[in-house]
Amino acid sequence: MVAGNIFDAFRQLVALSQEQDWVGSSYYLPSLLFANLGVASRR
**pLDDT per residue of the chain (43 residues) written in tens, 0 to 9:** 777 888 998 999 999 999 999 998 899 999 999 998 888 888 7
Looking at residue 39, its pLDDT comes to 83
Residue 26 domain-assigned (yes or no) = yes
**Total domain count for the chain?**
1
pTM for the predicted model, two decimal places: 0.69
Q: Which of 32, 34, 28 is nearest to 17 (CA)?
A: 32
Triad 38, 8, 2: Cα angle to 5°: 35
Looking at residue 14, its pLDDT comes to 97
Residue 31 domain-assigned (yes or no) = yes
Residue 7 domain-assigned (yes or no) = yes
Residue 41 domain-assigned (yes or no) = no
Looking at residue 41, its pLDDT comes to 84
